Chain A
């Protein structure tokens, strides 16, 4: 068993594009769920629209990379409008069911063979990297130390992702301490009270859905940036995993979603390397290596249950700012 290799992989996963993508999506959910109290269970769709918008506009329409990102983000804004207008008047659990259904519709539309020419159906999309890599300011070569050794393209994706993540966190921090943010938190605590103050609650919720949706779309783009767009990623479990990361860090915080995502991926990578290694040296004789890869997903579910029951405010959260008010 190569402990150094396992630790190195785990360390590397802490700043992997997937981790940054999760962190962005979790920030979006913090906006939706943590601050506004909207139980959006369709985050996977925002991520899918970001990723597919980016890939399709580059591959099919020949857009440059920044054009592709604008399309992805624009698509998520439109989706937020379409999703929000009928659903934001609904109560929490209804909203959850409808958003999860909408996310499934989006996924099936990307997966169907009908639009194979554009979406690649079950194969997904790949080979859209040229434009983004052409903009890479880092000269060719391999950089880094310890577990974080990547080539120029690897660093370009990570640095770009971290900058976007920092920007998103800054935006969220700024808006949440503005008067707009206070209204948003007021909606979470008592919608009727805010309505009585003459605020248009529906409009505020819609704005929140759109802002969080943009974070989600950027998360989807960063997730897909280094490799490919795979329709198997954007299943409902993705939303649940992002929720786990969010609740782990703290739903109504700025840094909670980021820390939660880093821990989520760190633990996932550690387990996915460590458990098969333990099986191979005979420490866990009752399972096979395939089974050991399933264990970590069982643990995600158990962790989600325990978190919600015993520490709903997460690691960084404040118990007074509990989102589970009703």
Chain B
């Protein structure tokens, strides 16, 4: 048995173990998993594009799936009846185009033209000054080169963990604010965008180094949270405005802030420095970019410090007491206003940090980037239990992994749907969430 055969057998075995899982999950998504008919993806969203034409001996191949990824951006496309495809891509990155050989007809594969390329089905694409590049594969009869399902699965889980930790930073804040004030803060999304925009202003517009720009952005976010509390939410609390009213105020604030970002930064996507850092292979086919690794470490460190703060310090304990029962906390001598102020500052700072990390994960900064994940954050918070900080973290990691892995089974433009459906289903069976208490559901 030569090595190539051995490798293939091993893959087949590994695949066999997972077949049952795939069948079960694909049955669940069978409604959604109809063959995609489109050949143009995200062309409206981005100015740059990669186009191609998949043909076998000048006969167009329909339904061949290609994955275009680079700098954290990833999108699937399926060829149309003429074998053509086109995807819009963000600015200034190198992209790798992977042709999924499983979607080619029987016995057909991508041929290695040069002779020393182990993965001829993966090609690197550089966007030229014209904003568009052509990427074609040489296709013929031959041996296939497929990434095993297991490797893809592991890679998605690692990505999902990264995404989930980032969501967690945003979710903890929203959950703390809810716990202490009863407000479901829709403007939290704009606090996320605020952090990213501040990092952009400091690092790109002012030209300061990014390692200095991020802490400044977080500090500015904290100040933003403090001023929102002092200028808006505290007066409204003193006025005795109801929670539903407060929620609609936060929606108004969210709209106003979102369009203010658009007013100043325009409708395009801008990149932070270092968003195109190279991928570092870890194990198997799993690779993570340098920024993603740093981002994970930052998330974990910040969350650990926060957990210590909440459990060990005096003000953290006071926060939990206020979450539990504000009147009782006030009666036992806790300054509720001070606790709420600290919570707003912390929530905004963590949201701002989440915004910077989200800017690297997406990648890119846009005026509505926070609003794009707001519902996922709400899903995470509800899943974990509204008002519980650690529940929000658990919920976030579950939602992050769910979103990333679900695109293995359903089209990638539906990957948020899975998480949102889970949110609705959770509310059916356990409305208080995983770590919540039933009295909160009313």
> Which residue of A91, A92, A97, A121 has the most chain B CB atoms within 10 A of its CB atom?
A97
Within 8 A of B (CB), among A301-326: 301-309, 312, 324-326
Contacts of A112 in B (CB 8 A): 32, 411, 413-414
Interface segment, one of A57-65, A151-159, A289-297: A289-297
Q: Taking A92-B243, A98-B423, A113-B38 as given, write out 4 further A-B residue pairs in contact, using a Cβ cutoff of 8 Å, ordered by the A residue number.
A: A114-B34, A301-B259, A308-B252, A309-B245
B17: CB under 8 A from chain A?
A: no
Contacts of A141 in B (CB 8 A): none
Contact assessment for B423 and A101 in the assembled complex, using a CB-CB cutoff below 8 Å: yes
Contact assessment for A116 and B184 in the assembled complex, using a CB-CB cutoff below 8 Å: no
A105: CB under 8 A from chain B?
A: yes
Q: How many A-B residue pairs have CB under 8 A?
A: 154
CA distance A117 to B259 in the complex (A): 34
CA distance A253 to B302 in the complex (A): 49
Chain B contact residues: over half helix, strand or loop, or mixed?
helix
Contact assessment for A114 and B414 in the assembled complex, using a CB-CB cutoff below 8 Å: yes
Task: Write out, one digit per residue, whether chain A residues 91-113 have a CB within 8 A of any chain B CB (1) or not (0).
Answer: 11110111011101100110111
Tally chain B residues at the interface, Cβ within 8 Å: 54
CA distance A324 to B243 in the complex (A): 9
CA distance A282 to B320 in the complex (A): 55
Contact assessment for B36 and A86 in the assembled complex, using a CB-CB cutoff below 8 Å: no
A143: CB under 8 A from chain B?
A: no
Within 8 A of B (CB), among A74-90: 86-87, 89-90
CA distance A301 to B427 in the complex (A): 29
Chain A contact residues: over half helix, strand or loop, or mixed?
helix
Contacts of B420 in A (CB 8 A): 101-102, 104-105
Contact assessment for A324 and B245 in the assembled complex, using a CB-CB cutoff below 8 Å: yes
Contact assessment for B243 and A240 in the assembled complex, using a CB-CB cutoff below 8 Å: no
21 A-B contact pairs sorted by A residue (CB < 8 Å): A39-B247, A93-B244, A94-B442, A97-B378, A100-B375, A101-B423, A105-B417, A105-B424, A108-B414, A113-B37, A113-B41, A114-B36, A287-B263, A291-B263, A297-B259, A298-B260, A301-B253, A309-B239, A312-B245, A324-B245, A326-B243
Task: Write out, one digit per residue, whether chain A residues 48-70 have a CB within 8 A of any chain B CB (1) or not (0).
Answer: 00000000000000000000000
Contact assessment for A298 and B38 in the assembled complex, using a CB-CB cutoff below 8 Å: no
Q: How far is the CB of A158 from chain B (nearest CB, A)?
A: 29
B256: CB under 8 A from chain A?
A: yes
Known interface pairs A308-B249, A309-B241; A101-B378 also in contact (CB < 8 Å)? yes
Within 8 A of A (CB), among B214-243: 236, 239, 241-243
B421: CB under 8 A from chain A?
A: yes
Ranked 7 nearest A-B pairs via Cβ:
A301-B256, A301-B255, A304-B252, A91-B442, A305-B252, A113-B38, A297-B259
A283: CB under 8 A from chain B?
A: no
Q: How far is the CB of A29 from chain B (nearest CB, A)?
A: 12
B428: CB under 8 A from chain A?
A: yes
Contact assessment for A302 and B427 in the assembled complex, using a CB-CB cutoff below 8 Å: no
Q: How far is the CB of B428 from chain A (nearest CB, A)?
A: 4
CA distance A97 to B431 in the complex (A): 12
Contact assessment for B379 and A101 in the assembled complex, using a CB-CB cutoff below 8 Å: yes
Task: Specify which of B38, B41, B242 is in contact with A324 (CB 8 Å cutoff).
Answer: B242
